[in-house]
A and B are shown apart, each in its own frame.
Chain A
């Protein structure tokens, strides 16, 4: 009987693939596994499968928001240190800088305090108008982002179905001068995460802004401002809240004086919806 040394070597190295992916091998063994993988289709297939698990591990950590100063520290340091070789790749002037976030005010909860900026990627970034620029400077308003709602909702629903824990979606209805507007409130079970999406919003003149209110079912509790915004040219606006929306809570939108909005609603909301019990 002969010993298949190649087979033994393969089995030994294959057994180390998981440790390799977890970066748990000593240098010499890591090099052996790396070299073996190059010429071994079955180990490459194993790598592909196990990478799925390893690559998911970062998402298993608790989400913690870094202090705002960290961003400033990094950008300040980068500004005075040489970047990668500027001529290494062609410049790509397609990155659109975002407005700097302003400090929250005392009277009104702002997007800085409560909302995470909606980041466009493949989405189309709307050019900021003059009114938007004023808002950015004074209030840290989010940039308007056109969202392909149908696709995104479908995507969220697909994920929800797969995860067997569907997000709940509630309607926000318009009336009066806002009859053509509507929206949805989507909450994710067990997550401090909600999404408000509005469409069909009439444009506001430069002195006005839309203001979002969270209204407690207890009439003795004052409305809480969630922030102000200007819709994109298509009358759409989508924003993420890092909070839950409890049953009985209403979300309402009013037009208020810009750029900061009002401490409390100055008109009866014509765009509103309630999370049912």
Chain B
């Protein structure tokens, strides 16, 4: 299903239309930069990573598959992965990208002020959901998602068994899902 013009935009990108890249950046550039800055903590590096990610998308736009997720997810995944790679000193070819399961994600970003109001309120709920987690569960999620540590590295870092880290991650995500669902944040 086409969400908020994703398919048309992806087609225009694949056709090499620079204005489509401008539109992609206008839609998701701020989100991308915010994620890169959250991971890297440095504005200069964040700029480099966002530029690298958008150019990578530009060069591979014909590989976008709308069935596997929205353009937003595509951008977020690219920026987050590159940020983590940069942070951990990994080269891009070392990464095996996780594919988004079919039908797991198909929502688009808001497209007008009213949707932005709704999106802002959703963001507030999402922050609450994260903040409500027990500290050890939140830590496991944040170390993995925003700092790029593996579960094994996290287990060594905080000196708990590997199974404990896995359990905390699962409990955290289950709780977040329940919280978001209860507040009507769509999946």
Q: Which residues of A contact B (CB under 8 A)?
A: 15-27, 30-31, 34, 37, 44, 47-67, 70-71, 73-75, 77-79, 81-86, 88-95, 97-98, 116-123, 145, 147, 149, 152-153, 155-156, 158-165, 167, 186, 188, 190-191, 193, 195, 197, 238-240
**Which of chain B's residues 48-94 have a Cβ closer than 8 Å to chain A?**
50-51, 54-55, 58-63, 73, 76, 80-81, 84
Looking at B5, B21, B105, B117, the one whose CB has the most chain A CB atoms below 10 A away is B117
Q: What are 15 A-B interface contacts by the 8 Å CB criterion?
A: A16-B166, A19-B169, A51-B187, A56-B176, A59-B119, A60-B130, A64-B33, A67-B43, A74-B21, A84-B63, A85-B14, A89-B62, A121-B4, A123-B111, A155-B118
Judge whether B34 is part of the interface by a CB distance below 8 angstroms.
yes
CB distance from B53 to the nearest CB of A (A): 9
Taking CB atoms, residues of chain A closer than 8 Å to B15 are 83, 86, 89-92
- Picked from B4, B166, B187, the residue with its CB within 8 Å of the CB of A15 is B166
Q: Give A44 to B101 CA distance when docked, in angstroms.
A: 8
Judge whether B174 is part of the interface by a CB distance below 8 angstroms.
yes
5 smallest beta-carbon distances between A and B, as pairs: A162-B184, A121-B111, A152-B114, A88-B62, A83-B16
Q: Give A71 to B187 CA distance when docked, in angstroms.
A: 30
Q: Which residues of B contact A (CB under 8 A)?
A: 4-5, 8-23, 25-27, 29-35, 37-38, 43, 46-47, 50-51, 54-55, 58-63, 73, 76, 80-81, 84, 96, 98-101, 103-105, 108, 111-127, 129-130, 141, 144-146, 148-152, 154, 163, 165-167, 169-170, 172-174, 176-177, 180-181, 183-185, 187
CB distance from A74 to the nearest CB of B (A): 5
Query: Is B21 a contact of A163 with CB atoms below 8 Å?
Result: no
Taking CB atoms, residues of chain B closer than 8 Å to A75 are 18, 21-22, 25
- Picked from B11, B38, B111, the residue with its CB within 8 Å of the CB of A61 is B38
- Picked from B11, B13, B27, B126, the residue with its CB within 8 Å of the CB of A83 is B13
Query: Is B121 a contact of A165 with CB atoms below 8 Å?
Result: yes
Query: Is A64 a contact of B14 with CB atoms below 8 Å?
Result: no
Query: Is B38 a contact of A48 with CB atoms below 8 Å?
Result: no
Q: Give A47 to B103 CA distance when docked, in angstroms.
A: 11
Taking CB atoms, residues of chain B closer than 8 Å to A58 are 31, 35, 76, 80
Query: Is A160 a contact of B121 with CB atoms below 8 Å?
Result: yes
Q: When A24-B169, A84-B16 are in contact, do A193 and B120 touch as well, CB less than 8 Å?
A: yes
Query: Is A48 a contact of B173 with CB atoms below 8 Å?
Result: no
Query: Is B112 a contact of A55 with CB atoms below 8 Å?
Result: no
Taking CB atoms, residues of chain B closer than 8 Å to A159 are 117-118, 121-122, 184
Taking CB atoms, residues of chain A closer than 8 Å to B22 are 71, 75, 97-98
- Picked from A22, A62, A73, the residue with its CB within 8 Å of the CB of B145 is A22
Chain A residue nearest to B141 (CB atoms) is A22
Query: Is B169 a contact of A60 with CB atoms below 8 Å?
Result: no
Taking CB atoms, residues of chain B closer than 8 Å to A48 are 101, 103-104, 187
Taking CB atoms, residues of chain B closer than 8 Å to A197 are 113
CB distance from B184 to the nearest CB of A (A): 3
CB distance from B110 to the nearest CB of A (A): 8
Chain B residue nearest to A90 (CB atoms) is B11
Q: Give A90 to B180 CA distance when docked, in angstroms.
A: 39
- Picked from A17, A64, A66, A92, the residue with its CB within 8 Å of the CB of B12 is A92
Query: Is B113 a contact of A238 with CB atoms below 8 Å?
Result: yes
Beyond A83-B61, A191-B124, list 20 extra A-B contacts (CB 8 Å).
A21-B173, A23-B145, A50-B173, A51-B105, A52-B187, A53-B173, A54-B145, A61-B34, A78-B58, A83-B13, A84-B14, A84-B16, A88-B14, A97-B19, A98-B26, A161-B184, A163-B121, A163-B183, A186-B114, A238-B114
Taking CB atoms, residues of chain B closer than 8 Å to A22 are 141, 144-145, 169, 173
Looking at B13, B14, B148, B173, the one whose CB has the most chain A CB atoms below 10 A away is B173
Query: Is A147 a contact of B23 with CB atoms below 8 Å?
Result: no
Query: Is A25 a contact of B150 with CB atoms below 8 Å?
Result: yes
Taking CB atoms, residues of chain B closer than 8 Å to A60 are 123, 126-127, 130
Q: Give A161 to B148 CA distance when docked, in angstroms.
A: 35
Q: Give A92 to B152 CA distance when docked, in angstroms.
A: 46
Q: Give A54 to B76 CA distance when docked, in angstroms.
A: 12
Taking CB atoms, residues of chain A closer than 8 Å to B105 are 51, 55
Taking CB atoms, residues of chain B closer than 8 Å to A98 are 22-23, 26
